[in-house]
Amino acid sequence: MTAFWCESLLIDGVHVAGVRLEVDPAGRITRVQVEPAKAADIRLRTVVPGFGNAHSHAFHRALRGQTHGDGGDFWLWRERMYRVAAQLDPSNYQALATAVFAEMLVSGYTAVGEFHYVHHRADGAPYEPAHAMELALAAAARAVGIRLVLLDTLYLTGGIGRELAPEQRAFSDGSAAGWLARWQSLRAQLAGDDLVTLGAALHSVRAVTPDAMREVLAGLPREVALHIHLSEQPLENRDCLAALGLTPTGLLESVGALAPRLSVVHATHLSDTDRALLGDAGVTVVMCPTTEADLGDGVGPAHALATAGSPIALGSDQNAVIDPFLEMRGLEMGERLVSKQRGRFAPAALLAAASTAGYASLGLGRHRLQPGDLCDLVEISTTGVRTVGSLAGQLPLTATASDVLRVFVGGRLVAECGQLIGGERPAALMTDALARACQSTTRVVQG
């Protein structure tokens, strides 16, 4: 048994002093008690639940610092993102993902949902051996010690009623049946892994037909977490209405997809009816504030969705920023800018979005630091220039990833003061990864 004694522990966002956590060999909490420390305890200061990154595209990290000064909109950015995808193979993607996951871990993310669709070679031919790209991501997560929920993604069309573009061929399995067969094979290969589990995703209503959605919903086990991009851009809404007479949310409702196991990502441009449908079904909404701001997507109706009944989770999406505190801050500040009111999301609600709701969205359980929960912890400095003087409960609005001291996954120390426990630094890993995976990215992006 391992035991931690926390000088201050935030449980459901509430500061509790002098809490002792006992953890079993499987990395789960067995006992939580306010009591004095014992001699063998690992002593921590201010502790929060580990953060769950509910939406990531690891390879987008290669575009950080490459596209921000070029103007344009989401669609122009997407063209450049496709060029980066074309550079990937299992070897260089593993190196890139290792660096990205390392940065996440030292920043306080203890779990990540990787929304993964670069399955095949650029011409659409499968890799040999099978699942090479997926297994590369799994190996990257194991190498750094982060929990990975691999959201293996169905991607069949280049838009509503449109064939795949050449640059999208690597994403497709040809049919929902083909994707399901590959998904089942991958699930068997990942079975029994303590850190890596398999989830699922429908890319979007642009990339998956209603019939394919129905086929996946019928063939996917009910306990598996399911994600989808939803209404990130007004064009998606217009195309869906023109072709099918429904909003994207209405389409999901029509095929029976709206349920508590579903998470919709972005949900930026919704009607009142859309919000009610999502809330009534208990669908989680994954907001990605730093990406939505960087790409000029708009500010989604997070507070209205939460009021309607949708849990709000957070993700880093394109990984132009990897910092759970900035995602929390972005969620609240976006609401303040739109509503002209402060305190739309209380600090405790922001912490829940970044931790508890993220884990639930990924199918990882409740993550409230209660008996039976995973012992995934983050220790935060309260004496640095950003946090000194902060009330513990208000750290979500003052701290940044730079204030993360120690990170534990399953009760095991995996990162400390900005580096992995083995001594690797994310910046060095990224330098090597970019040299290997994206040596021509700058040239390609700049055209």
Please give the Cα distance from 58 to 53 (Å, whole number). 12
φ/ψ of residue 6, rounded to 5: -105, 120
Q: Catalytic residue among 120, 203, 266, 269, which? A: 266
Q: Which of 404, 400, 417, 405 is nearest to 326 (CA)?
A: 400
What DSSP assignment string belongs to 140-190?
Answer: HHHHHT-EEEEEEEE---SBTTBPPPGGGGGG--SSHHHHHHHHHHHHHHH
* CA 2 vs CA 23, 295, 313, 409, 413: distances in Å: 5, 44, 30, 13, 12
- Counting every residue written for the chain, the total comes to 447
Rounded CA-CA distance 216/225 in Å is 13
Q: Choosing from 152, 317, 373, 403, which is the catalytic residue?
A: 317
Strand 262-266 to 226-230 pairing = parallel
Nearest to 144 by CA among 406, 426, 417: 426
Q: How far apart are CA 260 and CA 17, in angstroms?
A: 34
Catalytic (active site) residue 203: no
**Residue 330 CB neighbours (<10 A):** 22
Residue 266 is among the residues annotated as catalytic for this protein: yes
CA-based diameter of the chain, in Å? 68
Q: CA dist 10 to 181, 334, 385, Å?
A: 43, 25, 21
Q: Which residue has the tokens 């598996």?
A: 224
SS3 41: coil
Active site residues: 266, 317
